[in-house]
Structure 1
Amino acid sequence: MERSQERNGGEGVAGREPGGEGLRLRKEIGLWSAVSLMAGCMIGSGVFMSPQGVLVYMGSPGASLVVWAGCGLLAMMGALCYAELSALVPKSGGEYAYILQIFGSLPAFLVIYTFVLLVRPAAIAAVSLSFAEYAVTPFYPGCSSMPQAVLKGVAASCILLLTLVNCWSSRLATMLVNVCAVAKVFSLLVIVVGGAVVLGQGRGHTETFLLAFHNTTQQAGRIGMAFYQGMWSFDGWNNVNYVVEELKNPKGRPPLGVCKEAGRF
């Protein structure tokens, strides 16, 4: 495959296959980049914001941990199913590619239309606003609420910057994902290890272990909302399927990436 460079200096993400078969995406994503992509997409605002919601809806720490385990199991099973689909249909596009292959163009169009115009923009807006709130808080100490114009401006700038990076170079975007994934995992390790150290020193509130399931809710609606809060934290387990054609080994990378990421979580 011939390697092309854009006029503005950016690195192209597609090339023409020999023999005139058309354009193909460049295969520049390896195993660890695929794992980092999943980790970077899964570890986000939900990990730091959803625990409170799960605890509020379930009413007890023990039941909350059961919900988290159930959410992790559901996410892992879904990711393994998607990994199998990516091996059978090695095409980028995720759900769109699979529905197009099985049911035809109209159902696939309806799915991708809803996803692109409704589902994904709402998720990106929520994550960006969460990032903006954390980023702006140090500049407004003592304020119970930050200016909405500042929050929305930072969120919009973040979306624009990441869009430009992905349009400029897939390799640069992959490097950024890897760096962010390492930073997120390191942050979680600091929280977990720090909590374990405090607990080991006897400074933790161990009395909650004695009544771990006290005041657990019995309402199906509240349990469902707790699972909804938990699944938001695991959202992103299917993102590797959107870049299958850019994987160096599309039939082996998604399953391996899913297994490694499942083991990490």
Structure 2
Amino acid sequence: LLAFFPLGCRVHFSAKSSPLGSVKGVGLLSGICLIVGTMIGLGIFISPKSVLLYSGAVGPCLLIWTACGVLSTLGALCYAELGTMITKSGGEYPCFMEAFGSIVAYLYSWTTIMVLKPSSFAIITLSFAEYASTPFYPGCSPPLNVTKCLAAAAILTITSINCLSVKLASYVQNFFTAAKLIIILVIVGAGIVLLAQGKTENFSNAFDGTATSFGAIGLAFYNGLWAYDGWNQLNFITEELKNPVRTLPLAIVIGIPLVTVCYILVNVAYFTVMTTTELLLSPAVAVVRITLVNKHLATGIHSPIL
């Protein structure tokens, strides 16, 4: 559950920056961590249901997750070329400013601040609220009013932290990013153990029921790509990168494939204990999956798998 909060606190800053300009203090490792830390989060906990629903089977589901990683890498490399040509922080804003002028750049900024980011933040906090409240309502979905109130409390908390102190926001971001990665490692590690024990029945006939509609495949890609959101984050601090011509593309080539491998392993881990039907019916995939793993391991102590 802790993994959701960093996504709501995506504030990019430099502790060394000053009104006179940004200090180039972000190296390759920090760039990779920024990409990985901002990409991995909410999407991998809720998108698997939608990707599986529209792809129709385990096989195409895993292929779509892989293809989304490739597309994100290609898009990020295009951004890297822009970032090395227009070495200004701010992501898309300086590119729009250079290409189309101040009006288009202003409209983009207004749309981002007033529509895109608040909408994304609302989805993140509502999903967090559903995950947080699911254990208290076993066998049914949490009441809508409960999730709404919990989401509102999360929004107020995160907003207050960012308003009170940039340093405090950075501490919160770092803490929850670490927690997020630990959760991913636990899920993947348990999946590897179960695969080693022979839990592969859900991967047999992996392409049976594959969707043939272009619309369904498109929706599967849409949901998968949403989980890869954040691949352009390094362009927001281009001015602070050490040797951006080298660091920007190299961090992308390392960071996004790393996230892609992680996402594929997490989905494989889901399917080691959950059938496609169970995954589609789960209100909170990760929570249900962890519960099933605990039950399996508890049973396996007395009746090991042959």
Which letter does structure 2 place at the counterpart of 1:129? L
Q: How big is the shift at 1:148?
A: 3.9
Equivalent position to 2:18, from 8, 11, 15: 15
Q: 1:75-224 maps to which residues of 2 (within 5 A)? A: 75-138=72-135, 140-142=136-138, 144-167=140-163, 169-202=165-198, 204=199, 206-224=200-218
TM-score, normalised on structure 1? Answer: 0.81
Contact 1:90 1:244 in 2 (8 A): yes
Distance of 2:139 and 2:250 partners within structure 1: 46
Q: Which residue of 2 aligns with 1:255?
A: 249
Other structure's SS at 2:142 match: coil
Q: How big is the shift at 1:61?
A: 0.6
Of all paired residues, the percent bearing the same amino acid is 43
Distance of 2:155 and 2:31 partners within structure 1: 21
Q: Which sections of structure 2, spanning at least 5 residues, go unmatched?
A: 1-13, 260-306
Encode CA deviations 1:157-207: one digit per residue, 9 max, x unaligned.
4334434444555554444333333322222222122112112112x1x33
Distance of 1:161 and 1:89 partners within structure 2: 36
- CA change 1:263–1:54 in 2 (3 A) is closer
Structure with greater helix percent: 2
Contact 2:37 2:177 in 1 (8 A): yes
Q: How big is the shift at 1:144?
A: 2.5
Q: How big is the shift at 1:128?
A: 1.4
TM-score, normalised on structure 2? Answer: 0.71
Distance of 2:230 and 2:77 partners within structure 1: 13
- CA change 1:105–1:79 in 2 (3 A) is same
Encode CA deviations 1:218-242: one digit per residue, 9 max, x unaligned.
1111111100111111011112222
Contact 1:90 1:251 in 2 (8 A): no
Q: Which residue of 1 aligns with 2:70?
A: 73
Distance of 2:86 and 2:107 partners within structure 1: 20
Q: How big is the shift at 1:250?
A: 4.4
Contact 2:231 2:256 in 1 (8 A): no
- CA change 1:27–1:151 in 2 (3 A) is farther
Distance of 2:36 and 2:92 partners within structure 1: 20
